[in-house]
Amino acid sequence: MDTFLEFLKEVLKGIIRAISAYVFQKTFLNEEKTTRCRRKPGGSRSNK
């Protein structure tokens, strides 16, 4: 019984670690920019 509880504890630790890594990745690493670059009115100027 003690061995089974140790095994269950390790499995739950692994699941929690995987879920927290997924949440961390989605929250911090794959963060997309919410504001897009806006062009100034008048268009772009080139040296011709």
Q: Please give the Cα distance from 8 to 45 (Å, whole number).
A: 66
Q: What is the pLDDT of residues 4-28, one digit of tens each?
A: 999 999 999 999 999 999 999 998 8
36 part of a folded domain:
no
What pTM does this model have? 0.55
The answer to whether position 18 is within a domain reads yes
| 25 found inside a domain | yes
Q: Is 5 inside a domain boundary?
A: yes
Longest dimension (CA), the chain: 82
pLDDT value at residue 30 = 79
At 9, the amino acid letter reads K
**21-48 pLDDT tens trace:** 999 999 888 766 555 566 667 666 666 5
> In the chain, how many domains are there?
1
In a domain, 6, yes or no: yes
**CA 21 – CA 10 distance, rounded (Å):** 16
Domain extent at residue 15 = 1-31
Is residue 20, in this structure, part of any structural domain at all? yes
Quickly list DSSP for 1-29.
-HHHHHHHHHHHHHHHHHHHHHHHIIIII
